[in-house]
Amino acid sequence: MHLSPTAKLVLEKRYLRKNEQGKAVESPEELFQRVANSIAVVERLYNPRITEKELTAIARSFYELMSNLDFLPNSPTLMNAGRELNQLAACFVLPVEDSIEDIFMTIKNAALIHKSGGGTGFSFSRIRPKSFPVKSTGGVASGPVSFIRVFNAATEAIKQGGTRRGANIALLRVDHPDILEFITAKNKPGELTNFNISVALSDEFMKAASTANNYELVFQGKRLGTMNAAEILKLIAEQAWHNGEPGVIFLDTINAANPTPELGYIEATNPCGEQPLLPYEACILGSINLTNMVENGVVNWVKLEQAIRMAVRFLDNAIDAGSYPLPEITALVKGNRKIGLGVMGWANMLYKLFIPYDSDEALQLAEEVMSFIQRVARNSSRELAAARGNFPNINKSILQQPQRNATCTTIAPTGSISIIADTSPGIEPAFALAFSKQALEGELKAQINPVFHQALRENFSQSQVQEVLHEVLSTGSLANCLQLPKSWRRVFVTAREIAPYWHVRMQAAFQKHCDNAVSKTVNLPMTTTAEEILHIFTLAYQLGCKGITVYRSGSREQEALRAGI
């Protein structure tokens, strides 16, 4: 295996099995073997007559898929498969009902999920607004934001699976009477540090915002006032300009694609927004490394198809291989059998193909690649359905054809697994060609984009390479590197050099062929205005995105990434 020093560090600190002294007792190869064997053994559930030789061959295929870094499952699968905990899902949504008993039961359930390595999404829209009467006590309610703080404090006390802090997202419908308090809940540094927050916007609200009309605030069917939609959307944009939050999700767009509407309305997503889920639902994700699907300057579609088919089988097996923290979750996961196959390394794929990220050619390829993944994944799911049966809730779904999985595709941010694979995360453009990253325990790790570095060495003399690297190591960009041809500066573009319009169009291109949602952050230069962020939100809605997040450089005191070294 070819692993970067940072990949080795992340694997050692977070993923490899350790003894009581905290020392790693397995190698990266042994980790992938452990995961492959654990996922492959599920084949016996559906084919009791499978021979040891056949089972070994499937395990070997899974192992090679991961050890070649062509595909990696989400972090809990790498951490827990074949071990005592054996919780393999990354994404969960839990309901938050309007009673003290239910609220604290949800906190308990979230603790179990965080302990097992999962992240949780919550909609707090069912909690009565501040000062609303509480009949049982004669008092008044403290409102949803007060309870989000309670959830945040509980999360602070639990370290996820012994490896990372608990991740949460809090959502509130834009028509909830406490929406102003929610939008500004993270105004102060250090507030709700274990939560992302997003406002859930409806079609009705977006229409009212486009015409600067008022919309109604409601709770339990009661009308409790009105606000101007355009002013509220402007406030959300101003807050996002201030510190990157809140993000927004488009509830009606999400529910129009809900595969099982008879089972309930989707109110929330996982912490990064790419996985809309019903209450008590979970999903196991995995990502194909697109960088490895380019050979000799072209996309190797045959290799990509083989990787998709094997990855779908892997993820479907993982549903049965894993254990779940609650019986309600087990029932819904196995009833819908949602999987989320996505991608990482998109920016590096474009670099290898010498295509600028912010170009029509890149958008066209995005649709071509993602529609191919979607088509092959669904066909693979149908083939599994023929052998193993449809997902049990298919009769309560909108699907018109047999299928093993209610959903097949999701595009996750792939933060840690893209580091292991030494590639660019998700569908994001490269943050910088050289950057420093706050790694584990605050360690600062310097990295140079490997595709860019290799291309330099292959096309220029050693002295030219050193001259260019001096500039790149200082700024992280080729923008002012006149030593290179203009075509190179055009192709090797980085996130903050790309106009917001292209970020949103790229997300929309992938979303068009994705069952679930797309995690994407529009990384913006410090000079971006709140009005520009408002336009980003509006454009994302118009282009059919299911949500959008922005981050303006310098809007937080501590940043995980820093351009240049």
Residue 225 φ/ψ, nearest 5 degrees: 125, 180
Catalytic annotation, pick one of 74, 267, 272, 516: 272
Closest CA to 72 of 421, 412, 450: 421
> Quick one: which of 488, 451, 470 has its CA closest to 479?
488
Distance CA 148, CA 107 (A): 10
Q: Which two tokens stand for residue 485?
A: 């041809």
Structure tokens at 124: 């707090």
274 is catalytic: yes
**Catalytic option among 274, 281, 471, 532:** 274
Q: Residue 416 has which token pair?
A: 């840690």
Kindly report the backbone phi and psi dihedral angles of residue 475, in degrees, each rounded to the nearest multiple of 5, phi listed first: -110, -20
Say if residues 273 and 519 touch (Cβ distance below 8 Å): yes
Please give the full DSSP string across 268-319, using - where no structure is assigned. Answer: EE-TTSS-EE-TTEEEEEEEEEGGGGEETTEE-HHHHHHHHHHHHHHHHHHH
Contacts of 36 (CB under 8 A, 6+ apart): 59, 60, 62, 63, 66
Catalytic residue among 74, 270, 292, 317: 270
Q: Which helix (H) or strand (E) holds 552?
A: strand 547-552
Give the bridge partners for 219, in sequence order: 222
Is 336 one of the annotated active-site residues of the chain? no
109 contacts 326 by C-beta, under 8 angstroms: yes
Q: Which two tokens stand for residue 99?
A: 């009673």
Among 421, 428, 422, which residue's Cα sits nearest to residue 307?
421
CB hemisphere CA count around 478 (13 angstroms): 23
Q: Is 545 a catalytic residue?
A: no
Residue 433's alpha-carbon distances to 276, 418, 550, in angstroms, are 32, 15, 21
How far apart CA 330 and CA 24 sit, in angstroms, is: 31
Q: How far is it, in rounded angstroms, from Cα 507 to Cα 520?
A: 7
Write the burial class of residue 242 (CB in 10 Å: 0-12 exposed, 13-18 middle, 19+ buried). Answer: middle
CA nearest neighbour of 62 among 355, 307, 285: 307
Which residues have a catalytic role annotated?
270, 272, 274
